[in-house]
Structure 1
Amino acid sequence: MPSPAHNLDTHVYFVVGLPDEDGTSILPGLQPNEGEQEVGDGVTAVPQLLPVRERVTQHAQGIVSAPSHAAQLKVYARRQNQEHAYYDGRYRHNMEKDTRGPPISMFHPSFALFLARLNGPTEAVPLDEDLVGYTYQFMAKSTAIYLKESERVDVLSDLFTHILRREVETKRVGSANPDGSLSFEFVIQPGNRHIMIPVAIFEYKVEPGSGGCDAGVQALSAIENFWLASHKSDVRKRGCCPTFGVAMDGPWMRIYGAVLAGDRWIYQPLLPAVYTAISSKLPATHILSVCRVLQAFRDAIDDICRRTEQNVQHDPSHPFSEASDEKLANMCPTTRALRPTVMTPAPTTCGSLALRYEHVLDQHNLTYLATLTSDWQSLGLRWPRVVVKFVERYGEAAHRLLEREGFAPKLLYCGKPYADTSPEFSDMDMVVMEALPDDGVVDTQSIAVKPPAEARRKVRDAVNVLHRHGYVHGNVTWRTVYVARARRDPDVRLLNFDYAGKAGEVRYSLYLPQMPEDVKLPDDVAPMKLVTVGQDRYFLEKLFAEK
């Protein structure tokens, strides 16, 4: 039963089934090492107690409350401190945790299309003249000061209907009753079932800071509520539930993207807050700029609807194959914790290559094992397995240099993930390289195993090749080195070139090289610091010395 209402700061809060701060987690999960199984060569498989989407549904249905309540500061902060936090990058003060998620454009190309249209050349997509007129009307009405939220909702929702060419309406689903929602209806066969799914959720505030909660978080909670509806379960199983969230704080517009990846909602702003008021006597440039945002938004909405209908008309198999002992035993040798997931990245073609994802290799570094479904023999590969990475930048030139010297795997592709459908999208790169065989590999991550002196010499030789050509690597550790067991001439390859590039030009990102416990990182290896030759020399001295 609901607890009694508590009057706090002139607002009335109804707390329904929410735990205390030190109570149980919202989504109980596996504890470290709980249920883990060694399946060979040091590879650890972590079984799931339930399929992740069943877990998230069962637990979330017990804790998700009305969006206006979920977006209250204390309730939101409590959730972000628990296991089932939103992946939006936020965490509670003094309780830092990593709630950053992969870029949502990895999981659905419609978000990549939106970003490509925003960041691409303005002449690439001509503006719709009717939309220019509606944008002016929208901005003129957005400029006004409203004393009642309902007035702003009625006026702007009607204009959004014209802008998006789809009806924005108020619709209650479960405990969600957002200020506006845009749904898409289609028919699932067999059975002739009509399904309505949310494509965009709108939340308004009269002015920034009003209403006692954040409109962006409120929109996310409404998205979560909508997708928990049982009649959407078939659709939820077949995709990542791509949905836009629109937060209107007075004249400020924020547009977010949300996907359900595995058992977590990833929620990310797709552009900085846009000022939609007309404040200058010379407003034409600003109006056209807002119009481009709205046209990109409309095109992405249409793209989600088209792709969703195509997806649901088919009955695809589970995106990731079940992990067998044989497959696990032949994983990339640098993988020591394999955690299957139901989500796959969206890009499956790159240049002339076509591939099918098999397993997650490294969730932090967004690395996957995949199988080429296109012709691979002509590429000179020993087998069709490849490693796929999604990166902000990649040291392609450094990788290809060491590949020519025999010190790096064959690099098959390094470029845009949506080169065919959204060539202007440039927020990340897709890297595809050959997967090296795991048989007869030295376990370079085991403390008890010291790689042979010849292997250490070859690592030093590889790094020296980079330095002679003006490059740095930035991550020379045994976790990023492949060593095939051989008595006299071991095969040695450097695997990670995320931080490689010209000395003085490349920087570390958030995730730093992983060192043995008894070796600390140099002081100048830190997020956003430049990668230097001296750092590479430090790695060689500490980890790859002759003796």
Structure 2
Amino acid sequence: MPPNPKSFKPSFEVTISGKASLTALKKMIIDESPYHHHVPPVKASQLNLWKPRDTILDAERGRKLAAARHDLSTIADEVTLGADIALLATRKGKASDAINLIIEFIPRSNPTTIEEQEEALDTLGALNKRFTHLIDHALKRDAPSASAELTSYREVQGGSCPIYDGRYHPTQGSSTVAPPIHLYNPVFAHFLDDAANPALEVPDRVVVATAKLMRKASAVYDNEYTRRDGVRDSLKKAVYHELVAGVVDDYILPDDAVGWTVLSADGSRVPLLMEQEEGELGSNGCDPSTQASFTMLKYWAQSNAKRNNSKRLTDFMWLGNGAVLTDNTQCFRVARILHSLTRSLAHLRKYYATLTSSTNPPSSRFFPFPTSFHPNHGLKISFEYLQALERGSACVIFKCRTKEELPRILVVKFAQTYGSAAHELLAREGLAPQLLYCGPVDPSPDAPSYQNLKMIVMEYIDGETVAAMEGGFPDGFEAQLTRIVSLLHDNGYVYGDLRQPNVMVAGDERVKLIDFDWAGKEGEATYPINLAKNMWPNGAQAMGLITQDHDRAMLKSMVDYCNTRHI
């Protein structure tokens, strides 16, 4: 529990040398604050320090925090190991009561009930609970056209049930990114491959229908209804599918959408395609692609369906005519994408027509489609997903169990890049999990590319990451971790991401690295495009080279961090 609110001083001052470490500053804060008398004693690891970006006066701190919904990242930058302590004394603003630092207290909280443990581990119980919560919210929302309007959409993205499309509320809410949708069904991977393939053979009838569609779409119509009457027939011919308006099997398609459905093996009606028209882009006060997301979600919710995925797979395409010598090029591009859609709808229809609850249990909605791998080109090994190993919508790492006579527990993850050579180097020394597979998501000859994603399979290590530990580090922890980094460097590798979640202490007290997404040869391995601020050593930057000096700096920070856990 935090200190008694009645005795809590909202603000206080500490005096410390500018050359002091972050750990020393946290100790001083504990000694000077109400945390000093807290039972059990507060550790430095339970304090996060934040530097306000703008002036926050002591008298207005409550209002500022409430406006930020107590998400400190929206109003301040977290102070990390290696920060210049002297700079923390500078105030944002000249007022004497301006706040230098905000202290965040993280109470110890170990889950005790089964429900709390499920929530902590993202087990099926917790995932189903969240899914039900999503459906309930979808049923209560306004019509898709209203939900997609700026104010409503912004509110949705800042709430507990956002659309996972990457758009986010700038000051509220959590992450709205999710794993690629093609990991959940290869149909979407096939579509992306076809749409990007200039050599794809497109039937002449599709090209002709597309040309007519573009001529019709170029007209400036009075409203969405006259546009619908003008373009829908041409669109049906281009995608080679009938579109049914209004109601599909007693389920209302919101906002005059049209759709094409298929009956699955268990008797449920599945919408494969939904289409809506707007008079002009933005004429209804919303982004039509966002409205389409809400339309699909609304249908799934009211039909109590077993799937809910929505993702933009193309950019906005220009469907109009405009240049006498280049219109053909654009027409062929649009025709290729529409033909790719038609091909994908045929695959999707076949998939749903054979889908039953026994071949695809409800729990499968939470996990990727791939369920097998070929270790070292050997016999196929099938597995089933047990749980996500990270919290949040962006999780791409899972605990799995093989379907063998003697089942094994494995970790399966997906990544764009992976330092398999560095991983295997450490695994041979027992300093990383055994790597069982690192290669294409599906290596079969007719499989889609999955946008060159990799599937990585490794043994499951029973232990705790440094991020999860409250202390009790094994003897020689620093020496073990130093040896790991030195072994990588001596063989010409860099690691790049030596943070607490990637360092594990196994049950036998051996230290291991468990994530090699960024690892590679020095001079070749680089940081990713998106690199969070305030977490990396000096010189580290997005797309910049990872150096051994960076690794050594993070090693020092890791040791400093672990020392705070003993306070």
| Alpha-carbon distance in 1 for matches of 2:184, 2:465 | 35
Verify: 1:508 aligned to 2:538, yes or no.
Answer: no
| Alpha-carbon distance in 1 for matches of 2:357, 2:257 | 27
Deviation at 1:444, TM superposition (A): 7.1
Query: What do residues 104-154 of structure 1 show as CA deviations (whole Å, max 9, x unaligned)?
Result: 1122222111112223x433x422232222222222222232233222212
Deviation at 1:470, TM superposition (A): 3.1
How many equivalent pairs are there?
A: 442
**In the alignment, what sits opposite 1:9?**
none
Distance 1:316 1:202, change over 3 A: closer
Verify: 1:459 aligned to 2:481, yes or no.
Answer: yes
Q: Conserved in 1, the CA contact under 8 Å of 2:466 and 2:500? A: no
Distance 1:290 1:318, change over 3 A: closer
| Alpha-carbon distance in 1 for matches of 2:336, 2:483 | 52
| Alpha-carbon distance in 2 for matches of 1:448, 1:118 | 52
Q: Conserved in 2, the CA contact under 8 Å of 1:164 and 1:298? A: yes
CA RMSD in angstroms, aligned pairs only: 3.4
Q: Select 1:197's aligned residue among 234, 256, 270.
A: 270
Q: Conserved in 1, the CA contact under 8 Å of 2:461 and 2:506? A: no
Instruction: State the one-letter code of the partner of 1:218.
Output: Q
Distance 1:313 1:538, change over 3 A: closer
**In the alignment, what sits opposite 2:62?**
none
Q: Select 1:219's aligned residue among 271, 284, 292.
A: 292
Query: What do residues 433-454 of structure 1 show as CA deviations (whole Å, max 9, x unaligned)?
Result: 111244xx7977423222321x
Distance 1:278 1:416, change over 3 A: farther
Q: Select 2:497's aligned residue among 453, 475, 478.
A: 475
**In the alignment, what sits opposite 1:207?**
280
Q: Conserved in 2, the CA contact under 8 Å of 1:85 and 1:99? A: yes
Distance 1:128 1:349, change over 3 A: farther
Q: Secondary structure at the match of 1:311?
A: coil
- Say which structure is richer in helix: 2
Query: What do residues 246-300 of structure 1 show as CA deviations (whole Å, max 9, x unaligned)?
Result: xxxxxxxxxxxxx1xxxxxxx3321222222232222333222222211111111
- Say which structure is richer in strand: 1
Q: Secondary structure at the match of 2:276?
A: strand
Q: Conserved in 1, the CA contact under 8 Å of 2:499 and 2:554? A: yes
Distance 1:144 1:50, change over 3 A: closer
Q: Secondary structure at the match of 2:421?
A: helix
Q: Select 1:56's aligned residue among 134, 157, 163.
A: 134
Deviation at 1:316, TM superposition (A): 4.1
Q: Conserved in 1, the CA contact under 8 Å of 2:263 and 2:352? A: no
Q: Secondary structure at the match of 1:368?
A: strand
Q: Conserved in 2, the CA contact under 8 Å of 1:178 and 1:219? A: no
Deviation at 1:228, TM superposition (A): 2.0
Q: Conserved in 2, the CA contact under 8 Å of 1:131 and 1:163? A: yes
| Alpha-carbon distance in 1 for matches of 2:424, 2:151 | 51
Q: Secondary structure at the match of 2:389?
A: strand
Q: Conserved in 1, the CA contact under 8 Å of 2:400 and 2:411? A: yes
Distance 1:374 1:294, change over 3 A: farther
Deviation at 1:100, TM superposition (A): 1.4
Q: Identity rate of aligned residues, in percent?
A: 25
**In the alignment, what sits opposite 1:127?**
202
Instruction: State the one-letter code of the partner of 2:292.
Output: A
Q: Conserved in 1, the CA contact under 8 Å of 2:465 and 2:503? A: no
Q: Flag structure 2 segments of 5+ consecutive residues without an equivalent.
A: 1-65, 70-106, 375-379
Verify: 1:368 aligned to 2:398, yes or no.
Answer: yes
| Alpha-carbon distance in 2 for matches of 1:65, 1:270 | 25
| Alpha-carbon distance in 2 for matches of 1:151, 1:353 | 56
Aligned pairs for 1:221-300 within 5 A: 221-229=294-302, 232-233=303-304, 236-237=305-306, 240-241=307-308, 259=309, 267-282=310-325, 283-300=327-344
Deviation at 1:361, TM superposition (A): 0.7
- TM-score, length basis structure 1: 0.72
Instruction: State the one-letter code of the partner of 2:354.
Output: Q
| Alpha-carbon distance in 1 for matches of 2:127, 2:486 | 48
Q: Secondary structure at the match of 1:497?
A: coil
Q: Flag structure 1 segments of 5+ consecutive residues without an equivalent.
A: 1-20, 25-31, 242-258, 260-266, 321-341, 378-382, 514-518
| Alpha-carbon distance in 2 for matches of 1:468, 1:129 | 60
Deviation at 1:536, TM superposition (A): 0.6
Of residues 303-312 and 392-401 in structure 1, the stretch that sits farther from structure 2 once superposed is 392-401
Deviation at 1:495, TM superposition (A): 0.7
Of residues 214-223 and 460-469 in structure 1, the stretch that sits farther from structure 2 once superposed is 460-469
Query: What do residues 400-441 of structure 1 show as CA deviations (whole Å, max 9, x unaligned)?
Result: 232334432222222222333533332522111111244xx7
Deviation at 1:537, TM superposition (A): 0.6
Distance 1:423 1:511, change over 3 A: same
Q: Conserved in 2, the CA contact under 8 Å of 1:474 and 1:535? A: yes
Verify: 1:434 aligned to 2:459, yes or no.
Answer: yes
| Alpha-carbon distance in 1 for matches of 2:465, 2:450 | 40
Distance 1:213 1:101, change over 3 A: same
Query: What do residues 219-257 of structure 1 show as CA deviations (whole Å, max 9, x unaligned)?
Result: 11211221122xx33xx23xx24xxxxxxxxxxxxxxxx
**In the alignment, what sits opposite 1:522?**
537
Deviation at 1:83, TM superposition (A): 1.0
**In the alignment, what sits opposite 1:146?**
221
**In the alignment, what sits opposite 1:323?**
none
Distance 1:315 1:54, change over 3 A: farther
Q: Conserved in 2, the CA contact under 8 Å of 1:158 and 1:168? A: no
Deviation at 1:368, TM superposition (A): 0.1
**In the alignment, what sits opposite 2:91?**
none
Q: Conserved in 2, the CA contact under 8 Å of 1:181 and 1:198? A: no
Instruction: State the one-letter code of the partner of 1:495.
Output: I
| Alpha-carbon distance in 2 for matches of 1:274, 1:427 | 24
Deviation at 1:374, TM superposition (A): 5.1
**In the alignment, what sits opposite 1:543?**
558
Verify: 1:499 aligned to 2:499, yes or no.
Answer: no
| Alpha-carbon distance in 2 for matches of 1:304, 1:525 | 44
| Alpha-carbon distance in 1 for matches of 2:292, 2:502 | 41
Q: Select 2:346's aligned residue among 287, 302, 307.
A: 302
Q: Conserved in 1, the CA contact under 8 Å of 2:386 and 2:399? A: yes
| Alpha-carbon distance in 2 for matches of 1:118, 1:539 | 42
Distance 1:425 1:398, change over 3 A: same
| Alpha-carbon distance in 1 for matches of 2:292, 2:475 | 56
Query: What do residues 28-85 of structure 1 show as CA deviations (whole Å, max 9, x unaligned)?
Result: xxxx99994378xx99457649744433333432x22112211221111122221111
Q: Secondary structure at the match of 1:388?
A: strand
Distance 1:76 1:390, change over 3 A: same
Aligned pairs for 1:283-432 within 5 A: 283-312=327-356, 314=358, 316-319=360-363, 343-351=366-374, 352-363=380-391, 364-373=394-403, 384-420=408-444, 421-432=446-457
| Alpha-carbon distance in 2 for matches of 1:366, 1:118 | 25
| Alpha-carbon distance in 1 for matches of 2:441, 2:203 | 28
| Alpha-carbon distance in 2 for matches of 1:448, 1:417 | 38
Q: Secondary structure at the match of 1:498?
A: coil
- TM-score, length basis structure 2: 0.69
| Alpha-carbon distance in 1 for matches of 2:289, 2:400 | 36
Q: Select 1:76's aligned residue among 137, 153, 158.
A: 153
Larger Cα-atom Rg: 2
Distance 1:525 1:290, change over 3 A: same
Deviation at 1:524, TM superposition (A): 4.5
